[in-house]
A and B are shown apart, each in its own frame.
Chain A
Amino acid sequence: MVEMTGAKALIYALEKEGVDIVFGLPGGANLPIYDALVDANFRHILVRHEQSAAHMADGYARIKRKAGVCFATSGPGATNLITGIATAYADSSPMIAVTGQVPLAMIGKDAFQETDIIGVANPCTKYAFQPRAPEEIPEIVKKAFYITESGRPGPVLIDIPKDVQQSSANMKFPDLIKVRGYNPIIDADLTHIGKAVELLLKAERPIIMAGGGVILSGAFSELQVAAELLMSPVVTTFKGKGAFPENHPLAMGPIGMHGHAEANKIILEADCILAVGARFSDRSVGRFDEFGKGMNIIHMDVDPAEIGKNKSVDVAVVGDVKSSLRTLVKMLSKKIVKKNADYPWLKRRVELINYYAESIKDFPRDLTARKALKKLREILPSKAIATTEVGQCQMWASLHFDVISPGTFFSSTGLGTMGFGFPASIGAKAAMPEVPVVDIAGDGSFNMTENSLAVSVLDNLPVIVFLMNNYMLGMVAQWQRTFYNRRYMGVHQRCCPDYAKIAEAYGAQGIKVQSLQDLEKAIRSAIKTDVATVIDIPIDPEEDVYPFVAPGTGLKDMVTGS
């Protein structure tokens, strides 16, 4: 038992959890926490907008695979966090958001900068705490970390009234806690895995569909062993991009609305789908009713509520996918007769890849998104981390930027938050400073959080903004072109601002390129330099993203644009 204030207890509890960095912005209602931060043994990164603090914590979490932490004050500080919290929730990212709240006696009085943030955050948090007394804080922090990181991860909010931060109490820091209503399943039922094995052994055209769950549980090697054992092609969801090395002889890339054509095609020809940590989202599978018809579907997921939510399946394996895959591999390897690399299903894989490589043409221009991203991949070391903004840039990244080293790619795939990539890349850089980190960006998204350049420069977290600039809200423009007869509305960003100058104004490096040769030089310079670099790459506003599965249609209705 030690006597200290609630704020000090918070900081100490975070230290005990091994927190090494916090992203935040102070205000009236979290001043005691900031006072306690002065003596903390971890780093605080001052952001320029709370939304970015949440995205940075998220980016950090996705690379470290442990909770990122962000701080904000009450009211607008807390509501500014919400977009970032909702982003983390949609992508099952572990995050602890600590907000200040008006003093207990003021709650419900519509006080200055008061928001019922627990109420606001409820639909987009895994849980939310509001300590009513300082001595509750140590246990709450411990529980918050347990809840956010275990099972299916998701953000947890701790909303601390100012007087609870300020007042002192005898604190006990527990090493073990129990949350009665929360018992995530780790090891799946063996009989269910046995059934999955039976279906897989029967399958002539098996396919593995790897989702974000593989990345969250770090089941990379297990997935690879399973795929090689089954000699099964591997597609991923977009969230699962990089769960499997995309240069592997079984890799097919992401499926979905802007998935790889060969991936969208082959999954329709399969007779058994092994979905690992994937949730059959509309963007991945098109129409729920059409997808997987007549095939056996095995669904592995840590979240029981995902089973049957969008898609009824034949076998459900509920548990941590790393553990499930490990058991699956053990059971499979005893019974399986390994197929040769020239068996018809794998030949079909090669056939489809070759067919679409020839039939999908690049946009007729010297510098295109495809060429730019291929160049980036060529130069960037395979261990480098890439994230994206949202829109065309994101889908081009999905199509043309192969992830070689598993777990080095992430994006706001669920919520689709424009402005996510840049702050998230800074968070990723904080998690792994030794590798280059690239934000594959578009001008529309970069505009939204570009003030994080200050953080990147001042806190020595240099990242590369790979800005594919068509001065357009390009994806919206593409839809207006495709579905609204070119009646453009609200998509022209015009030539404002000058992104290289913006970068320079913040003390970063800004490079405008005109050709692939320029681009190559710029990428090399960006990797070498120790400040953030914005590479402004002109992209033709008419360049569309193909292939395309229109919303409300099935994968079979894919349009390749050529």
Chain B
Amino acid sequence: MTTTSASSYLNMSNVDDKTWYIVSAIVEDKPGVLFRITNLFRARNFNIESITVGSTENADLSRMTITTESDEKTLDQLVKQLRKLIDVVDVKVLDIERTVYRELALIKLRAVDPTSRMEITNFASIFRANILDISKETIIVEVTGTPDKIDAFKNLVNHYGIIQLARTGVSALPRGTHS
């Protein structure tokens, strides 16, 4: 489970027959569920880009959002093997066109001189990102958006020196009345 590489999200059409997918799973909110799911990925050799887990509208259910770059056959197996787990209540592959999906990233940048600070602040405002912390030598920026937007911001500010980076992975919901 690694964080994303810059190009993978930008080119969502076929790269070596692989496509970027968002899989949304509703799972029981109890101990050991995350372990079972990640263990399944390891045991069956599934390659996952990101995985997020959080609460849902139901107190006893969690939503797990998994992104993976995969061929159709592997995706089909991933979904079926997930469904087979007793603690997994529902699994859907989201239609990207009809899905709202977002990721959040915290990026700590080197910003020693005033010019860098100004530029970073400007870029942040263009990307509707927030400055969360400033010290004499660093700035922490919070960027929210699709993974490719975060990649774009990251590429833009890379040369200032990224000291630390934390990405949450993707959260997603289908648009409108689609469930």
Contact = CB atoms under 8 A, between A and B. Distances in A.
B39 interface: yes
A20 interface: no
B24 to A, nearest CB: 15
Interface string A115-135: 000110011001100000000
B36 interface: yes
A181 B36 contact: no
B64 to A, nearest CB: 12
B73 A122 contact: no
A119 B35 contact: yes
Interface residues of B, number: 20
Contacts of A180: 28, 89
B88 A181 contact: yes
B86 A179 contact: yes
Nearest to B76: A308
A303 B87 CA distance: 16
B83 A304 contact: yes
B85 interface: yes
B81 A118 contact: no
Interface residues of A, number: 18
Interface string B110-131: 0000000000000000000000
A147 B83 contact: no
A337 interface: no
A127 B86 contact: yes
A123 B77 contact: no
Given A126-B86, A303-B84, A308-B76, A181 B28 contact: yes
Contacts of A309: 77, 80
Nearest to A152: B84
Contacts of A122: 35-36, 39
Contacts of A123: 39, 43
Contacts of B80: 304-305, 307, 309
Contacts of A179: 86
A308 B74 CA distance: 10
A309 B73 CA distance: 8
A63 B98 CA distance: 51
Nearest to A147: B86
B76 A182 contact: no
B176 interface: no
Contacts of B73: 308, 312
Contacts of A304: 80, 83-84
Contacts of A147: 86
A118 B89 CA distance: 21
Interface string A278-313: 000000000000000000000000011101110010
Q: Among the interface residues A179, A181, A182, A309, which one has the most CB atoms of the partner chain B within 10 A?
A: A181
Nearest to B77: A309
Q: Among the interface residues B32, B35, B77, B84, which one has the most CB atoms of the partner chain A within 10 A?
A: B84
B44 to A, nearest CB: 10
A132 B83 CA distance: 26
A180 B30 CA distance: 13
Contacts of A305: 77, 80-81, 83-84
Nearest to B39: A122
Contact of A308 (B32, B39, B77, B89): B77
A316 to B, nearest CB: 11
Contact of B85 (A118, A119, A181): A181
Nearest to A128: B32
Nearest to A308: B76
A243 B63 CA distance: 42
A308 B28 CA distance: 27
Interface of B: 27-28, 32, 35-36, 39, 43, 73, 76-77, 80-81, 83-90
6 contacts: A127-B86, A147-B86, A181-B28, A181-B86, A181-B87, A304-B84
